[in-house]
Amino acid sequence: MPLQTITLHINGENRPTTVRASDTLLYALRGRLGLTGSKPGCLNGDCGACTVNVDGWPMKSCLMLAVEAVGKKVTTIEGLHDSPIQQAFVKEFAFQCGYCTPGFIMNCHSLLEQHPDADDQTIKEWLESNICRCTSYIEIEKAVKAVMRGE
Amino acid sequence: MEVIGRSVIRKEAADKVTGRAKYTDDFESVQMLSGKMVISPYGHAKIVNIDTANAWKVPGVRAIIAGKRYPLTGETIRDRPPIAVDKVRYHGEPVALVVADTPAQAKTAADLINVQYELLPVVNSPTEAFQEGAPLVHERLGEYKKEADSYPVPGTNIATHTKIRKGQMEKGWAESETVVEASFSFAPSDHAAMETRCATAEIFPDGKIIIMTASQAPFMAKRLIADYFGEDMGKIIVHTPLVGGAYGGKAAVQLEVLAYLASKEVGGRPVKIFNTREEDILTSPCHIGLDATVKLGADRNGMIKAAEIRFWWDGGAYSDKAIDVSRSGAVDCTGPYNIENVWCDSYCMYTNHPYASPFRGYSHSELSFVIERTMDILAQKLNIDPLELRYINAIKPGDTTPTRVKLTRSNVGDLRKCIEKVRELIKWDEGAIKEVNERIIRVKGVSCSWKTSTIDANAPSGAILTFNRDGSINLMSGVIEIGTGTKTILAQILAEKLKMDVDRIHVRMEVDTQTTPEHWKTVASRGTYMAGRAVLQAADDVIRQLKEVASCVLRAPEEDLVVADSRVFLRDDPSIGLDFKDIVYGYQYPNGNSIGGQIIGTGKFILRHITHLDPETGEGKPGPEWAPAAYGVEIEFDKRDYTYRLIKACTVLDIGKVMNEKAALGQVMGAMSMGLAFAGRETFYFDELGRVLNPQLRTYRPLRYGENPEYLVGFVETPHLDSPYGARGGGEHGLMGMPGALGNALSLAAGVPLNCLPLIPEFIWRAKKTFK
Ligand code: FES
Ligand code: FES
């Protein structure tokens, strides 16, 4: 399959990269750009480990082609620096093995931006798209709510 | 205590919340090739032909392995060809392996390999496997190489048979006024760690074999590859970075072998094999299934007098770790109850299912389900409160285990205290059933468990401490950070012992088998105990060396010196002393003379007095201590459609000592989440060809956010005297009691015994229909 060079806007930088038309954004991020924070967990949208933020919305990067991301603003876990939700995850022990963590944090981060006062139902609707096999989710709930309360 | 017990932030926290933490698949290099498996679409079939001609035409293909005979592999019995030859024995078994420049090319080529099969009759459950005349999964079972303590029966599907014979059964039955008997069954399921398994291998011209793997057992991978293929053990170096969840599933050695063979095939170039989710569920080892019958007898006061237990474990197509799992199930077969007359036959059966590796709890969540359900059935028949029945029969110091180990307060903890605490936490005395409205009832169920670890009697652990010139310490241990936070706890143990700031202790997270002292395997909740003991010994070693130098410089006897706050100083005048940084690389006198030298501390540990089990009676000491626990689950049950909601789940565990509060809570609650999913929804659905119909996370569903109940956790702290600060294993227990407690709650709610897993509404409906 022919390769093409595209420019992705990632974490505030323009990153030219060479991809096949069928490469997913996840594959390009990890394999081409070395941004391995986004994780492959299922490669078909079931687990959320690959979640990034595209134009302000959470997106499973295994379900989006790299070429579709051209012209969009992509933020990956590497683009967050000491954000409140990252701090809250540390404080609340909201991770164990850490594999689901980047995806969860990106989803939570988008949620907090879009719905800073989300009620329990909204939080559930957003976060049930990610799987964490280690924690009980209570820790993640606490982390999200701590940020909402501005702690 | 200063550091022990505190919720010290995990050492790798910052890396994990920034996406900078690295797991095996995150390591890439330009020259790395990709391996892709072709897997069997059937449970049992003869391989008639493999056509690779079209696959070879795909650009970038460097090697295709198919139909090649390698030495057989398998941890206990050598029964598994790394890549199938002659026939396939489970859905998902590797049949061919393609190596190509990119993952896409490897996949394209793999898809073009045409394998012709001839179907064979399928052994679709351990009960089927046990029938006389059942098709044989392994025709040549008698010819395999094996370890001494496994007992396969050639001409059958029995991979091993563990016997427990304790007391006199006739006496037990004679003393029993009430006898109950029940049968249980559940199919294999999956660990579903979020990181799928992955391994890379590269072979250098000097024979060095460098492997990287997402594993709980890199040291075992090294040993086995040397053993299997006659490689020089010292030339095998296995690296394990952080691991993205394991739960026992990554204790088996599989992809490492395939990566090694693939690299060999391409002249030693680096090759990566990365499981897709489907492969991870099908091809790599799964969570064992079980068929069982339990018969319990009790006198009129409810004291249990006899237990007869039969387990048929669904070890799957290859015995690998299932043999050990089935043995571990036998040694604790009664659950945490004092029973003098015990008969148990535990069979590890071959079937045409994916093969099993350990699952968090190592046979104990499975055996707890069957025992705890039977306990409730017994309580009902005796008309005794089920929690009370457990309380009066609870195992305690002075009792013996099924393998006749004499119990003490130190090695068995205090189950009764756990039960009392559960009683309070779930408000048991308010009643087990409460009507919410005419459709909905709220129901509670309880259970108990215990567990010892049946790891190898000679399993080692070691620790090395080195210093940095600023006086801070580097801690090296072979424990893998699989998510349990054990490496942080090791730092806490060291900080407590040296009375120093835990932030001045740097823990090496990655393990490599060349420079990290061996920790047998990161399994069985034994990291804190074994590696902790090694760290304590290394700390003593360091203290001794520090005092030796300081005693010379300070001109004071070693006995008068104290180590604390990164200093060595005089007991009666702390102002006279030396900072670590001035002595850990030798002390230099003003004129330049130096003494001492670099301080390196080492420590080791091996379990004491563990024995093999007697093959006829099971007598022997399988593990160092038993941690008991009690549980409760509360649900809201809809009497009309048999759906239910999880309201509360409770675990009270005798953890010996809470080492890191938040980490301990996280371990217990996370384990409960997994246990509830195992009990309530997770299973493989097989068709008549032995195919797993749900190898994806949309059809195989762990709990998701918001489906979880409220969690209640309590700790009892009866110290295990041999363990650092008294700690017992705690990573598995939260899971173990959930299937029993949920099964008991739902059986009460539905008014029928529910003795199969998973407990889905459809199963409850069927049970209701047949029970009437
Ligand atoms: S890898 Fe994208 S959702 Fe699982
Ligand atoms: S922390 Fe391991 S899967 Fe979430």
pLDDT tens-digit profile of B83-138? 999 999 999 999 999 999 999 999 999 999 999 999 999 999 999 999 999 999 99
Count CB neighbours of B640 within 10 A: 9
Residue B2 CA, chain-centre distance (Å), reads 31
CB contact under 8 A, A131 and B674: no
What is the predicted ipTM? 0.98
pLDDT at B524: 65
CB contact under 8 A, A128 and B706: yes
Q: What are phi and psi of B155, to 5 degrees?
A: 85, 0
CB contact under 8 A, B670 and A135: yes
* Ligand 2, pocket-test mutation among B12, B194, B484, most atoms within 8 A of CB: B194
CB contact under 8 A, B19 and A137: no
Structure tokens that stand for B449 in this block: 């468990």
What is the rounded CA–CA span in Å between residue B285 and residue B192? 11
pLDDT tens-digit profile of A5-47? 999 999 999 999 999 999 999 999 999 999 999 999 999 999 9
pLDDT at B771: 77
What is the rounded CA–CA span in Å between residue B359 and residue B245? 12
Contact between B405 and B618 under an 8 Å Cβ cutoff? The reply is no
pLDDT > 70? residue B25: yes
Q: How many helices (H) and strands (E) does chain B have?
A: 20, 32
Cis peptide before B758 (omega within 30 of 0): yes
Mean pLDDT of B628-642: 98
Distance between first and last Cα of chain B: 59
The CATH classification number of B31-120 equals 3.90.1170.50
Q: How confident is the model at residue A1 (pLDDT cuts 50, 70, 90)?
A: low
Q: Counting atoms of ligand 1 from 1, which one is nearest the CA of A48?
A: 3
Q: What are phi and psi of B8, to 5 degrees?
A: -60, 135
Q: How confident is the model at residue B772 (pLDDT cuts 50, 70, 90)?
A: low
What is the rounded CA–CA span in Å between residue B530 and residue B525? 10
What is the rounded CA–CA span in Å between residue B216 and residue B285? 13
Structure tokens that stand for B523 in this block: 């399994």
pLDDT at B453: 83
Name chain B contacts of A90, Cβ cutoff 8 Å. Answer: 9, 13-14, 17
> Which one, of B452, B475, B483, B453, lies nearest residue B674 by Cα?
B483
User: Which amino acid belongs to residue A13?
Assistant: E
Structure tokens that stand for B343 in this block: 């008969």
From A30, A40, A90, residue closest to B9, measured CB to CB: A90
pLDDT at B459: 86
Instruction: Please state which of the four CATH numbers 3.10.20.30, 3.30.420.40, 3.40.50.720, 3.40.630.30 is assigned to the domain occupying A4-76.
Output: 3.10.20.30
Structure tokens that stand for B90 in this block: 């489970």
**B225 CA distance to ligand 2 middle (Å):** 30
Q: What are phi and psi of A98, to 5 degrees?
A: 85, 0
Residues with Cβ within 8 Å of B232's Cβ and at least 6 positions away in sequence, in order, are B207, B226
Phi-psi label, residue B598: left if phi above 0, alpha if psi -120 to 50, beta otherwise? beta
Distance from CA of A71 to the nearest CA of B (A): 24
Phi-psi label, residue A45: left if phi above 0, alpha if psi -120 to 50, beta otherwise? left
pLDDT tens-digit profile of B266-283? 999 999 999 999 999 999
Mean pLDDT of A116-133: 97
pLDDT tens-digit profile of B63-85? 999 999 999 999 999 999 999 99
User: Which amino acid belongs to residue A69?
Assistant: A
CB contact under 8 A, B19 and A37: yes
From A37, A38, A99, residue closest to B245, measured CB to CB: A99
Q: How confident is the model at residue B457 (pLDDT cuts 50, 70, 90)?
A: confident
Q: Is the CB–ligand 1 distance for residue A85 below 6 Å?
A: no
Distance between first and last Cα of chain A: 50
Name chain A contacts of B698, Cβ cutoff 8 Å. Answer: 44, 46
CB contact under 8 A, A76 and B19: yes
Contact between B627 and B418 under an 8 Å Cβ cutoff? The reply is no
Q: How confident is the model at residue B665 (pLDDT cuts 50, 70, 90)?
A: very high
Chains A, B: CB contacts under 8 A, how many? 164
User: Which amino acid belongs to residue B737?
Assistant: G
pLDDT at B525: 66
Q: Which residue has the tokens 């569903």?
A: B701
Q: Tell me the pLDDT of chain B averaged across its residues.
A: 96
Name chain A contacts of B666, Cβ cutoff 8 Å. Answer: 93, 96, 134-136, 139
What is the rounded CA–CA span in Å between residue B170 and residue B736? 31
- Name all residues whose Cβ lies below 6 A of ligand 2: A 95-101, 132-135; B 194, 245, 483
Across-strand partners of B316?
Answer: B350
CB contact under 8 A, B705 and A124: yes
* Ligand 1, pocket-test mutation among A24, A38, A46, most atoms within 8 A of CB: A46
Distance from CA of B277 to the nearest CA of A (A): 5
pLDDT tens-digit profile of B298-319? 999 999 999 999 999 999 999 9
Count CB neighbours of B6 within 10 A: 17
Grouping H, G, I as helix, E, B as strand and the rest as coil, residue B569 is: strand
pLDDT tens-digit profile of B512-555? 999 999 998 887 667 889 999 999 999 999 999 999 999 999 99
CB contact under 8 A, A97 and B17: no
Q: Is the CB–ligand 1 distance for residue A103 below 6 Å?
A: no
What is the rounded CA–CA span in Å between residue B747 and residue B639? 12
**Side-by-side strand order, sheet with B33-39:** B61-66, B94-100, B33-39, B271-274, B198-203, B209-213, B236-240, B511-512
User: Which amino acid belongs to residue B32?
Assistant: M
pLDDT at A112: 97
Structure tokens that stand for B224 in this block: 């086995």
Name chain A contacts of B243, Cβ cutoff 8 Å. Answer: 97
Residue B263 CA, chain-centre distance (Å), reads 29
From A49, A78, A86, residue closest to B194, measured CB to CB: A49
pLDDT at B119: 98
What is the rounded CA–CA span in Å between residue B140 and residue B89? 14
Q: Is the CB–ligand 1 distance for residue A84 below 6 Å?
A: no
Mean pLDDT of B5-22: 96
- CB burial string A30-61: b at 16+ within 10 A, e below: bbbbebbbbbbbbbeebbbbbbbbbeeebbbb
Across-strand partners of B712?
Answer: B650
Phi-psi label, residue A133: left if phi above 0, alpha if psi -120 to 50, beta otherwise? alpha
Contact between B218 and B239 under an 8 Å Cβ cutoff? The reply is yes
CATH 3.30.365.10 in chain B is located at: 286-455+610-770, 459-606
Mean pLDDT of B397-418: 97
Q: Please state, for a pLDDT cut of 90, what percent of chain B lies above it.
A: 96
- CB burial string B399-422: b at 16+ within 10 A, e below: bbbbbbbebeebbbbbbbbbbbbb
Q: How confident is the model at residue B247 (pLDDT cuts 50, 70, 90)?
A: very high
Residues with Cβ within 8 Å of A123's Cβ and at least 6 positions away in sequence, in order, are A111, A141, A144, B705, B706
Q: How confident is the model at residue B214 (pLDDT cuts 50, 70, 90)?
A: very high
**A99 CA distance to ligand 2 middle (Å):** 5
Helix/strand/coil (H/E/C) assignment for every residue in B137-163: CCCCHHHCCECCCCCCECCCCEEEEEE
Residues with Cβ within 8 Å of B39's Cβ and at least 6 positions away in sequence, in order, are B91, B92, B93, B94, B95, B279, B282, B283
**A24 CA distance to ligand 1 middle (Å):** 11
Give the DSSP per-residue string, B296-332: EEE-TT--EEEEEEEEEEEEES--TTHHHHHHHHHHT
What is the rounded CA–CA span in Å between residue B510 and residue B495? 20
Tell me the domain boundaries of chain A: 4-76, 84-148
CB contact under 8 A, A138 and B277: no
Instruction: Please state which of the four CATH numbers 3.40.350.10, 3.30.365.10, 3.90.1580.10, 3.40.50.11540 is assigned to the domain occupying B459-606.
Output: 3.30.365.10
The CATH classification number of B286-455+610-770 equals 3.30.365.10
Helix/strand/coil (H/E/C) assignment for every residue in chain A: CCEEEEEEEECCEEEEEEEECCCEHHHHHHHHCCCCCCCCCCCCCCCCCCEEEECCEEEECCCCEHHHHCCCEEECHHHCCCCHHHHHHHHCCCCCCCCCHHHHHHHHHHHHHHCCCCCHHHHHHHHCCCCCCCCCCHHHHHHHHHHHCCC
pLDDT tens-digit profile of A73-119? 999 999 999 999 999 999 999 999 999 999 999 999 999 999 999 99
Contact between A19 and A6 under an 8 Å Cβ cutoff? The reply is yes
Count CB neighbours of B366 within 10 A: 27
Instruction: Please state which of the four CATH numbers 3.60.20.10, 3.10.28.10, 1.10.150.120, 1.10.150.80 is assigned to the domain occupying A84-148.
Output: 1.10.150.120
What is the rounded CA–CA span in Å between residue A75 and residue A109? 11
Task: Specify the long-range contacts of residues A26-33, CB closer than 8 Å, at least 24 apart.
Answer: A26/A50, A26/A61, A26/A62, A26/A64, A27/A66, A28/A66, A28/A69, A29/A61, A29/A76, A30/B26, A30/B28, A31/B28, A32/A66, A33/A8
From B16, B25, B703, residue closest to A95, measured CB to CB: B16
What 8-state DSSP symbol labels residue B136?
Answer: P
Minimum CA distance residue for ligand 2 atom 4: A132
Name chain B contacts of A47, Cβ cutoff 8 Å. Answer: 194, 277, 697
Four-residue CA torsion sign, A121, A126, A128, A132: negative
CB contact under 8 A, A138 and B669: yes
Inform me whether the C-beta atom of residue A36 falls under 8 Å from chain B C-beta atoms: yes
What is the rounded CA–CA span in Å between residue B702 and residue B472? 42
Q: Is the CB–ligand 1 distance for residue A102 below 6 Å?
A: no
From B25, B484, B711, residue closest to A96, measured CB to CB: B484
Mutate to test the interface with A, among B10, B15, B18, B105 (most CBs of A within 10 A): B18
Give the DSSP per-residue string, B452-518: -----TT-EEEEEEEE-TTS-EEEEE----SSS-HHHHHHHHHHHHHT--GGGEEE---EETTTSPP
The pTM for the full model equals: 0.97
Name chain B contacts of A1, Cβ cutoff 8 Å. Answer: 104
> Which one, of B234, B241, B235, lies nearest residue B200 by Cα?
B241
Name chain B contacts of A130, Cβ cutoff 8 Å. Answer: 704-705
